[in-house]
Each structure stands twice: as structure tokens, then as C-alpha cells.
Amino acid sequence: MHLEKARSYSDLRERLSRRDRGLSEKVMSLEDASALITDGQSVGIGGSMMSRTPMAMIWQLIRSGRKNLVCSRSITTSEGDLLLGSGLSNHIITSWFSQGIMWGISKVMRMHVESGQARYDEWSHLAIGMRFRAGAMGVPFMPMRPMLGSDVLASRPEARVINCPFTSENILLVPALNPDVAIIHVHSCDPYGNARIEGLQFMDIDLAMAADKVILTTERIISNDQIRRAPDQTKIPFFCVDGVVEVPFGSAPHECYGVYEPMMNHLDSYVRKVNSDPIGGMKSYLDEHIYAPRSWNDYLNLIGLEEVLGAAHRGRSND
């Protein structure tokens, strides 16, 4: 079994010291943001399950022809199908991989992993979070206990069981996870990258601090004056961020809390297509929904105005 290569912390600190801490505008297009990511890099994906998935960025990376990314995320759903089916990724690190609670285990994932075309590293939910936390803190590992009681540990030789120097009990050390790039979808941010997240933050703050580069897609860009009026609402600070892309409905067909809910009719149709034929169905979906549209708005038109507006109505109904 292959082990992840540990990152040199002296190298990470050196890179951090070279970062531009100036307050500069970082607004760009999806196409320009995708150019910040190169083949084979490690990419951390923000959000969790079907919540705040940076789908527009994934959509653009596939269109841009990126290949063989190592993608990490807390909980992976249908976006993972697209990562593997398009060749965008050949290695996924996560704690759960399904098309969603309603549809069960991904047949696309099983086909790619069981055939040896892709690698799937499974960790516990807490372990993924602790790995991002270690990366954010600038330490090489974090100690934890839960995986000691799980069969998952047997498949993760990257982790280390040691004798605790304080209690003499066994403790598990999980290695830091420092992606080359993080892609995160947020509710709003200013042109400099000061970002607000409503609802659950998942692991996104640690992910942003752990990554070498951060690309934010956002439902809307707001002014820096708005940010300064309520600085406590800023969850990701500008000095972590390298690119800002304004993409309304940038998580579609997944959800963005308080803005829109998942677009279930489209997801149902997608699952039927790829589960009936994981190769042909995926190729057909990619051709129709990823490569054919000229823009993200054209992609949303394919989902359908009624479904998009319906998801927005349901998402805002609790305001």
C-alpha cells in the first residue's frame, strides 16, 4: 500500500513567509482560477456532503482538462463521481463516499476503485478533521483515540499508534494534511478574500489555513466596508486567499445553506443515468452538462429554471 509523502514543515514555513500579506483585489474568472491548479496537485475541497460543494470550480477544472489531482474532503458525494469519471482525480481521501444518503454507494466510485483506475483512502470523520487541523496549526500530526476502536485503522498505515508518554495508554497519531490548493464555496466575501460562511462551517477554516493556496467561489461579492462593519462574521481572512470568483448558485445542484436547497430532480436523473451505466452514463452526463455548456449560466439552464428557482425558494423559506 502506498503511503502519503510527509510535507516538510521547514518548507511549509518558508512558503508561508513568502506569501503576500497585502490587501490586494483577487477577483477573477473561473477560467483564471482554474489556471492556479496544475495536474497532479493535491486539492482540498470545502463543504461537506451536499452542502457548499464548490461545484462551479469542479465543473471548470474538468472543462480545463486538469488530470490526476489528489482530492481530500470530509464527506464526498456525487461530486466525487465527477472527479473520478472525468479523470480530474485518481486519488480521493475522505471519510465517506456515496452518491448521497438516498442513493447509496457510488457505482462510479466502485468501478474505478475496484478496477484499479483510482485510489480511495478512507479515514474516520474525526481523523479527516484532525488532519486538516494539524495542517492549519503547522504541526506534523494530531493525537486522537476514536480510530483505535475501528477497523478503518487497519487500512491506514499512514497513522501511528504510540504509547502515550503521559498516560502510558495507546494513542493514535494522524498525519497533517496540507493541500497544495483549497477550493471553498462561501456565502459572501469582499474582493480581497475576507469571507463569510453562514450555517455550519465544517472543516473549511482549518482547510483554508492548511492549504498553500486558496480559491474561493462565492454567491456574491460584498464591499470591504460591509466586512469591516461586522468583522466577527469573517470566517476566512484575506491573507489566506489567492483567488475570488463570484458564482451565484456555485454549489448547484448541491445546496448552499439559507440560499438554496439541493436540486433533487436533477440529482435523481443524474443517479439513474450513471448507475445504469457507470461508464457510458458518466460520459453522456459529462458531454451534456460539463463540456457542452458555454458558461456556468448555461449549465444552470440545463438544470432548469423551475428547479433552480424552486431550490432557492425552499432554501430561503426559513429566513
Q: Which domains does the chain possess?
A: 23-114+178-316 (3.40.1080.10), 141-175 (no CATH)
How confident is the prediction along the chain (319 residues), in pLDDT tens digits per residue? 455 666 676 777 777 777 777 789 999 999 999 999 999 999 999 999 999 999 999 999 999 999 999 999 999 999 999 999 999 999 999 999 998 888 888 899 999 999 999 999 999 999 999 999 999 999 999 999 989 988 999 999 999 999 999 999 999 999 999 999 999 999 999 999 999 999 999 999 999 999 999 999 999 999 999 999 999 999 999 999 999 999 999 999 999 999 999 999 999 999 999 999 999 999 999 999 999 999 999 999 999 999 999 999 999 876 5
Q: Supply the pTM of this predicted model.
A: 0.94
Q: What is the pLDDT of residue 6?
A: 62
Residue 237: how many other CB atoms lie within 10 Å: 15
Q: Which amino acid is at 185?
A: H
DSSP one-letter string for 6-65:
PPPHHHHHHHHHHS--S----B--HHHHHTT--TT-EEEE-SBTTBS--HHHHHHHHHTT
Q: What is the pLDDT of residue 19?
A: 72
Are 13 and 135 within 8 A, CB to CB?
no
The residue with cell 454549489 is: 251
Angle between helices 55-63 and 78-85 (to 10 degrees): 10
